[in-house]
Structure 1
Amino acid sequence: MEKPSYINALKWAFLILKKHQQDQDIARYLLLERTGWNLTQLTLHQTEIISTSLWQQFQQDIALAIQGYPPQYILGYAWFYGRKFYVNRATLIPRQDSETMIAQILQDVPAAKRVLELGTGSGALIISLGKEGHYQQLTATDISESALQVAQKNSTKQQVPLELLHGDLFEPVRGRQFDLIVFNPPYIANSELKLMDQSVIEFEPHQALFAAQSGLEFYQRIFAQISAFLAPHGKIYLEFGFQQQAKISKMFQEQLPHWQIEFFRDLANHPRFLRLQRKEVK
């Protein structure tokens, strides 16, 4: 096939993706990212002939897209809180829902001395906090060494120093306390596997997605350990599935009766993350 115009390259990609039952919008997203254009610029250039190198790259991208590869893995990066973060299959793709939690944290705790993220993955959450807030020490743990390598790359790129520690949850920071703790835990029940998007199941790390006890395993573990790791007047923020609020609330009442909890909603108005802290003594 000879080099087409940008609009004809898109039409070709739309047909290929439709044939393979993939989202056609992926083609437009990939082309915009590869060119660095917005939609207006693409419209202005749509009748121009695509360059040889870009046409070859775009064909390679679409070949991966029809296999179900998420576009962020094809590109090697994802946008989060207005910044590019390197991602690969060792890490989850940062979601827009998490941006709502970051905004709430920055409003509640704009400055703190010691910050910890559990299960950091790409590091997008804690690095975003580091870029936007005033925090002195940033520490992140992950059970995956491959994920920590990605977080280190993003730490260097974004020029946000991170103390990266390998291990499960609090294990690498035993004996330490933090003023702010953040965690987006695995919260999908194994029984929900059949309801998941196929590209998520095939390409994103299951260790970061699925949890035992109907997806509630990590909340139980966190509630059991948090007293030892959260400094006085500290706060911890946890994401959760939008249908889990009632069960988490019940678990909280049983495990942390002398603490207080508040639930927050995402941009779609679904309950999506929570804040825990000790009850203040009056």
Structure 2
Amino acid sequence: MIIEMPDTTTGAINKALVESRKEGGVITLARVMTLVIDASGADAEQAIATANVASREHPCRIIVIAPGEASEARLDAEIRVGGDAGASEVILLRPSGEQIGHDDTLVTPLLLPDAPIVVWWPAGVPENMSRLELGRMAQRRITDSKGETDPAGTLLHLAKCYKPGDTDLAWARLTRWRALLASALDQVRVPEVSLARIHGDMNSPSILMLGAWLKHTLGCEIEATYDASVSALQHIILETPSGPVSIARPDGHNATISQPGQPDHVIALPARSLEDTLAEELRRLDSDDVYGEVLEAFAGQMVVSL
């Protein structure tokens, strides 16, 4: 069900939410958080669709802020519940005129009481998200550096502005790779790594973060090569005294794991979807300390290399 509310107020929106639950029998006690989406410069409908899928694991109230096009100061809104909101309830806010730029004033009356707040910026990385109105009220702040034209510069910016609770979906895209590498090294007789070779997309912040993580964790040298014709991480080779440990995913779907003294084996390792990575970040509401350490390590490594 979609309720259109042109030229409205947050008070009227709250009242309409209560009425919609009475009429539709929607149960809200299971809402575990408020997910606020700053859709400035983004496709609001795509962001809503992504959040609806991700929220199947985490039923929540989704508040989307997408600036309107009217010249006068007004607030247009939509409420989506039931089949149009997945496992959550969606409030789409379209402020116009002087209403733009007062996100905290718009959002605060609509927050779930005593529930964690997560803010997601689907379109790029803001200047300093922890100091923004929305960022200050959130326990978790999620960005996505994937589409940035200068991934190294973006990671340096994230490192400079990092506060506990920040995270980036480029880091979530590495979760399975990191787990596989750790598992593969556990089975090597002498797991010391002298060199890590990484190959993949030349504009991938995930590859830069993987290199920083490996160097920070293993103390090894990093050798990265890039290919403009691919769109993700392709392969990793870790040089150990026992022989190379490698994970190769040339087709973007299946990975071959090679270890000294063991036969190769193939596993499914598809590129992770936006919905999957967002759902992962919504699973944890505490600070991701390793992410912060990797950003700090990346910044330090960049300074040394200059």
User: Whose RCO is larger (CA < 8 A, sep 6+)?
Assistant: 2
Higher helix share: 1
TM-score with structure 2 length normalisation? Answer: 0.29
Q: State the structure with more CA Rg.
A: 2
TM-score with structure 1 length normalisation? Answer: 0.30
